[in-house]
Every structure is written in C-alpha cells, then in structure tokens.
Structure 1
C-alpha cells in the first residue's frame, strides 16, 4: 500500500488533483486573553475537558493551543468561514444569521437567503465538544474546501453556542471522522468529496508545522512527501468511528509508565494536548518531574526542559518518541507539559503535540492511519 501510494504521489497528473489546505499558526486566543488580563479568570470559568467531545490545500491557524483552523466557503455566491479541521468529530457547522449567543457576535455568520443554492432542512442539531457545545439546524449547500466544490453538503447552522467559542478565532468546525459518529447521521464533507470524485484517493493527510504561519496544511486526496522523512508506519483502526488505534504502552527511559498491557488511542487534530486517563497522566507527570497546578496542568521548570526525558508511545509494535522540546509548551511566564487529564475513561487522545512530530495520513478505504516522522 505504501509503495503504491508513493508512486501515485510522484505523478504530476495526480499532484494537480490533490487539494491542499495550508495551515497557519498565528496569535492564539490565550495570548489575546493574557494581554487583557483575562486568561486566569477564563481558565477558572471554562476548564478544558477534552474527553467530553466523545458524545487540495488550505492554511490553518493555531488557536488557543487547542486546534488548527483553515478557510472554506459555503453557498453561491460564496460566504467565507474559518473552521477547525477536526479528526475527532464528523459534522461541519458554522454560525448562522439566527445565532443569538454572544459567541457568534465576533464571528462570520451564514445568511441562507443570500445563497441561491441553499436548501432548508427541518432537522435540529446539537453537538457537544470538550469545551462546550452548539445547537441549531441543518441545511444543504455547496461547500468549497481547498478548491474542491462539494455539492449538496449537509451542514449545521448554529443558533446557540457555548461561551468557549467567544475567544476562539475559528468560526466553526469541520469534522473529519467517520459518519458512524456524525450527529443526525450526516454524511461528512470528506465522504462527499470521495463520492463526488473530487479527490483521486480516499485519503487525507495532516502536517502541523511550527511557528511558520505558512507551513501547516491538510492535503485531501493523498499525502505530501515533502512533509515527512523515512518510512510510513501503517496502523490498522480498531474502530471506524474516531481514527482509533491500539496503543501498546507509554514509556519513559524504556520503562512503561502508563497504558500497561495496552489501551486505545485516537489520532485527533482537534485536541491540542496528549490526553489520557487521570491515573496514567499523573504517573507520567510524576516521572517527568511535573507538578499539577490548580488548573490541572502539568507545570514544569523552564530551566529543566533540556534535561527532561523523551516520552515514547508504542503503536502497533512501533515506537513513536516525543522529545521534551516538543511536549513542553512554553509561554512568556510558564512552562507546562503537553499532557492532559481525561478522567476515568480509558481512552488516550494523541493530539497536536503528537501530530506536530509525526505526519499523519488517514486512509478511509483501508481503515488505517499512516505515521511518519515530520520533516
């Protein structure tokens, strides 16, 4: 499978069919709140619970260290929106002109009556994420993603949004997981891209770069070999719901500190941290010399980052190692390890901290994920 994919990607004709979405990393909502002296108050009122969400080329921006987002358009003529490309959910939704929540005030809103291709749908929609949720209704229209026009895409239009969206730059969310977990059994955007023959392969891939705002991207229809080095390791899915795989262990300095005996993990672009069961994360944090602060974050000494050990995640018999320089998140006034508590649920989330180190290829047909060292 890998050899065939590489050969196909080498074809100039195929390269013209790939739809790339560049991802941008910009000023985060966290930075904006800190400048206004509101960050501490916001963290107290809106604690992040990433486990709660489990009820062609375009630029992405890193927002509040929680997600990457890019630009799409909806309707005829097109109305433009920024959306989080989230492999941990399956629905597309944006704010509607009928939204009454404060969270919608500073975001672009979709006006159905301005689109000649919009179709009304009388079904209601309600979705919950790790930091809150939205309610609204469904409709259908043309959605353009990375230059590909998806006809008749069913999408959500919010009427209420929880306050967590107020401080996020993205207008909405575009889910890239499977239809089996989509609210109202809506066909996801990527599924329709495949059905409408808008991509050459039922594959998309994600590269999350560093501080270069032009470096990150999503490629629909294949992978970009310029963004990874070495071989691709293909890992079969254990569940075609999220992009879920079996994890063998979590090790520090060759010793297993978590996921002893195996556990389940999902590859999730919509979560910034690496999240695990609370007991496992506490064990890992202790081994790293981190202390849990009042917000549940694993605080570490900025002066000790260079001497901190690597953390290794074993997936399908292959080790994927994350150095301290990658998993320690540094801001102007603190350093925290990029590991979050997920409660008692025995599921790990390998979020952006992991994906920045490993290029991720999502194969919907073969139902496996490919990982390779990011270039």
Structure 2
C-alpha cells in the first residue's frame, strides 16, 4: 500500500524493502491460498468482469501462474460492478464495499493497487482501531473456515492456523490469521459470490489503526490477492478497471474482469518483471504543447513510472518536477501566487482562477503524457490541481517532488475522470478520458445485472457510479461530527459560541438547533471545536442526500466567519450511522409494558384474595350469644 497522502522521501525504497522482506511470507502462504481457491472440484466457467479496487503486486506472479490458467483473453465473462466512495478530500483514498460471510458482514475497504492481501479487523483483535463498521465475527458466519497450518505457510503460536503480516512505508502494519469464506461483491455484480482467502486482523498500527475505513482490498499480482484468486478460479478474465470521479463529481467505479476497450483508449506497456508495482513506459511530459527539457530516461529509472491508486497526488524526480513547476507557472501570469492551506507544506498555489472547474483550461495549460509507443494521454487542469481549502477560487499543484527518490509515482489525481484498464493478461494499461459518473452509458453497458446477495436486500439497484459528494455508504445518518480549528483563543471565543453555531447552521442551510458543541479544547492562540450536526426536529436520522449536502458545503468552504471570530481550518469530518439497536433496545417499551401489566395483574389478584379472606374470616368462628369474643378451642384438662 502506497502512501495515501504525501509520501516521505524515499518511500518507494522503503516499500521495495518491505516487499522483499515479506516476499517469503507471501510465497509461504501461496500454497494454502491456492488450495483454498481450488477447493471446488467443478470449476465454474469464466465469468463476467467484477468492478473492484486495486492493490500492490509481486512481479513474477502472473507469468509464473499463466501456464496453469485458462486463456481468458477473449469472450464474454461475468463482472462485478462496485461503486467507489470518495474519501479523497479528508482521508486521501477511495473505498468500496465488500461483503464477507454467511450471512454477509459488510466492510468499507480502501482501493489500493499497492497491496496483495485483503484484510478486515477480526472480532478477537486486541490492537485494532475504531473503524466504520463492526469487526468481522467468524463465529457468526456459517461458511467461514480457517486456513489450517501447514508446511507452506507461517503458522500462529498454536500451530493451528496460517498467518500473514504486512508492513508499509508510512510505518503502519497489519498482521493476523488467514481465513476462507464466501465473498460477495454487491447487488450490482454479475459475478456470483466466491470463496476466497482473506486476512482477519489481530493487530494494526499507524495509519491503519487510525483510519476510518475498515481495511484494505488487495488486487495486485500475488497469490493472496483477491484478483489472482478469482482469475485462478477461472471466473473472471485477467484484467480490472478503475474510474475515479472528477474534482466536482467524486465517487466512481471499479470492474474486476474485462470491459470492452473504447476505440480511442490509449495504451502503455506494463512490465510485471520490471517492478512489483503496476508501471507504464512514460517518455515525455508536455506542458502547453512543449516537452519538458529533461532526459527521457529520468522517467525510466528504478521502478520506472508507477501507477498507485493508494496515493493521492503525483510525484516526480527532482529535475522533472522543477521543469514541470516552472512550465506551468510561466503560463499563469494572470493569477496571483499565494501560500498553501497547510503551513507544513510549501504548496504552489494560485488565486483568481474562479470556481468553475470546466473553465480552468482557460487559465491553466493542458498537459500531455507521451508513452513509449508514441501514444499520448492528455490531462486537463483537474488532473494536476487540487482546490485550496481556505481561499475560494484558488488552486494548488497536485504534483510534487519525490524527495531524492528517482521514481515517478502517479496517484489518483492524474486519473480523475479517466477509465484506467489494467490488462494484466496482455501486459498493458489503457487510459480513456470520460465522465466516470456516466461510465456505464458511455461503455454501452446495458441494464443492471441481477442482484448478488448483500446485506441490504431492500435497496433499489442503481447502475450509476456514486456521484459527488455521495461518498457515504447507504445508511441512515445519525450524526455528523466536524472538527474545526479556529484562530481565536478560547476566552475570546466563548461568548460567541451561540452566535458561531447559528452562523454555521445558516451557511449549511440547516436549523440552528441541529448544531451543537460536543467538545472544546484550548490550544494556545487557537481553539479546537468538535461540532455535532444532528437530524432535524423529531427525526431519528437524516438521509444520505441531506448529509452529503452538508458535507459538500463544509468542504467547499461555504462557512465564512466574521472578522471578530478570525479564520478557521476544517480538520476532519466523520459520518456516523444511526446506532444499531440491540433486540432489547428495540423491544424495551414492549418489555416494560409487559412487566407493568404483570405487576398490575399480580397486585389486583392479591387485593382480591385479601378482600375475600377478610370478608369470610369473621363468619367461620363460633361465638355464643352472651360471649364477647369467639369461643376458643377447648384445652385439655
């Protein structure tokens, strides 16, 4: 998994070292994974493509396995279409939804072309963070089975189950046991649920511990990757595609399996023997039609030019970055150069370009990437710029210097509104500029496929990739939390909190009673506030559309503070689903009414008995006419 934000200098060297260090572990687990993948005696016919995310790969796996696989290069096969949810702004990654087990347990997994294992937090994990969904509970799945310890894998301390371990350049790690279960790809998938090996985490550190997403989906070249497992079963062709949304329209889609290549798709050769990562042959970069004055070999050093869906931005070797920066700056004389939104980075930003993304080409130059075969990928400004989060109508370069690392690393920003097809069978990667929110229509894919089993059987099927800002899973939203840093001391801010809450509500177009302060922390000359945005009135939840409208206005910096309240920085927002109530919580009223009814009936019965006994007790004792008290029982003489 590559860095999701800005990688440290030398990050790919560290990644390569990590890959070599764990290669033995991956190889040791291959036989177990292969046996699990081949567990059924009857192999299904090659199926349709499946829309999913990417992951890191090991270089020779595809070629080594090619001789034992069917040739899936031609013909129509099923596919699994999966939505991508845009968490790019706040977290630097895209996620998709995967369902594991019987009945299905749902997870939000990061789309990452730098990992070869799919893993989710296990219920038994003692060192896992709080993530988007509940942890995987093997005991609740009737189809789960552990991958038993054998000579071909690393075993746990009890010598009963195979284990995995992954370490990443940003100093995060994941480790746990390997299990096998039925994996479902959502209701838009033509591909039927399949048995697959995955990791059940028992420990995670670093970014993996603190991230909102549940885990990682591994689709690289490696026997434990879900991509290789599905190809090995013969249910999809050896290809997958990724389509990220644009600057204004997020979300997107992923396909596991082949899709028809548009006639104007451009390709570059990708050599799996050259690098453990998905690579292309980049020869030149043109800005406004002129090639950068750098030696073309600069893009071919070390790992070559790497595509990584787990990286947010693009990173060039020093000489190429300087040339690119200067070439772009020379074409934007009409714009004012300003500081970036984060003082920790020396971003190159320009103000005065306006808010309309479709008109950015009028002030920023077009960029072309020329491949080794002479074909050219044209980039619009949204493919190398990101919005300034504090200044309206300002943009910053999303291309950075890769420290002293000679590798060219292209992250998700480069392929906004671009369908990228990773044709592993033919060792090439294709690029096609398109509107990812209209992908199915533009590919002339017909009606929605039959629904596959999912945890939500009542939802309607919608074939459109998720539009921005609909990066939320489809649940009723119970709460939105917003972390904000305001450049005012707490004593000066405290008298204005009510005014500030009303201002935020007005800018977000909601009722002021929905905005409440949940936590305040003083930090020197600034104040950290966590706001809670609750459903309106008596509603228990707000719809996805309402929640995403609020988030869109937040992230587009709609909230403007008066001068006496200073400036602010949006640090983080999180969406929490309506809490899942237990059986007791759902029936507590009925239980209390039942208890009350039993108590009333018991008291009534007791009173009836008491009255009856009192009424008849005086009629049973004999008393002579002239006696004051009833006659007592005769005592023996």
Would the aligned equivalents of 2:422 and 2:430 in 1 still touch at CA under 8 Å?
A: yes
Determine which of 370, 393, 409 is the counterpart of 1:349.
409
Higher strand share: 1
**Cα offsets for 1:42-85 (capped at 9, x unmatched):** xxxxxxxxx9xx9x111111224422111011112211101122
Evaluate the alpha carbon distance shift between residue 353 and residue 297 of structure 1 in structure 2; reply closer, same or farther with a 3 A threshold: farther
2:73 match = none
Residue 271 of structure 1 pairs with residue 331 of structure 2: no
- 1:259 positional shift: 6.1
2:87 match = 63
Distance in 2 (CA, whole Å) between partners of 1:106 and 1:310 is 39
- 1:175 positional shift: 1.9
1:111 match = 137
- Three-state SS of the structure 2 residue aligned to 1:344 is coil
- Three-state SS of the structure 2 residue aligned to 1:239 is coil
Would the aligned equivalents of 1:257 and 1:283 in 2 still touch at CA under 8 Å?
A: yes
2:460 match = none
- 1:297 positional shift: 5.2
Residue 190 of structure 1 pairs with residue 227 of structure 2: yes
Residue 145 of structure 1 pairs with residue 185 of structure 2: yes
Of 303-312 and 86-95, more deviation after overlay is shown by 303-312
Aligned positions, number: 320
CA RMSD of aligned residues (A): 3.2
Would the aligned equivalents of 2:266 and 2:431 in 1 still touch at CA under 8 Å?
A: yes
Residue 79 of structure 1 pairs with residue 135 of structure 2: no
- 1:145 positional shift: 2.4
Would the aligned equivalents of 1:205 and 1:360 in 2 still touch at CA under 8 Å?
A: yes
- 1:18 positional shift: 3.6
1:233 match = 266
Distance in 1 (CA, whole Å) between partners of 2:293 and 2:85 is 33
Evaluate the alpha carbon distance shift between residue 279 and residue 248 of structure 1 in structure 2; reply closer, same or farther with a 3 A threshold: same
Distance in 2 (CA, whole Å) between partners of 1:337 and 1:357 is 18
Residue 178 of structure 1 pairs with residue 221 of structure 2: yes
**Normalization by structure 1: what TM-score?**
0.74
Distance in 2 (CA, whole Å) between partners of 1:150 and 1:157 is 19
Kindly report which structure 2 residues correspond to 1:230-269, keeping only aligned pairs within 5 A, or say none: 231-240=264-273, 241-253=276-288, 254-257=290-293, 260-261=296-297, 262-263=299-300, 264-269=304-309
- 1:196 positional shift: 2.2
- Three-state SS of the structure 1 residue aligned to 2:212 is coil
**Higher relative contact order (CA closer than 8 Å, sequence separation 6+):** 1
Distance in 2 (CA, whole Å) between partners of 1:357 and 1:296 is 27
Distance in 2 (CA, whole Å) between partners of 1:93 and 1:220 is 18
Would the aligned equivalents of 1:134 and 1:159 in 2 still touch at CA under 8 Å?
A: no
Larger Rg: 2
1:124 match = 163
Residue 90 of structure 1 pairs with residue 119 of structure 2: no
Residue 288 of structure 1 pairs with residue 323 of structure 2: no
Evaluate the alpha carbon distance shift between residue 361 and residue 105 of structure 1 in structure 2; reply closer, same or farther with a 3 A threshold: closer
Would the aligned equivalents of 1:257 and 1:284 in 2 still touch at CA under 8 Å?
A: no
Residue 221 of structure 1 pairs with residue 257 of structure 2: yes
- Three-state SS of the structure 2 residue aligned to 1:76 is coil
Gaps of 5+ in 1: 1-13, 23-50, 180-185
**Normalization by structure 2: what TM-score?**
0.46
The ranges of structure 1 where at least 4 consecutive aligned residues each deviate by more than 6 angstroms after the TM superposition are 290-293
Distance in 1 (CA, whole Å) between partners of 2:366 and 2:310 is 24
- 1:107 positional shift: 4.2
Residue 169 of structure 1 pairs with residue 212 of structure 2: yes
Would the aligned equivalents of 1:106 and 1:166 in 2 still touch at CA under 8 Å?
A: no
Residue 133 of structure 1 pairs with residue 172 of structure 2: yes
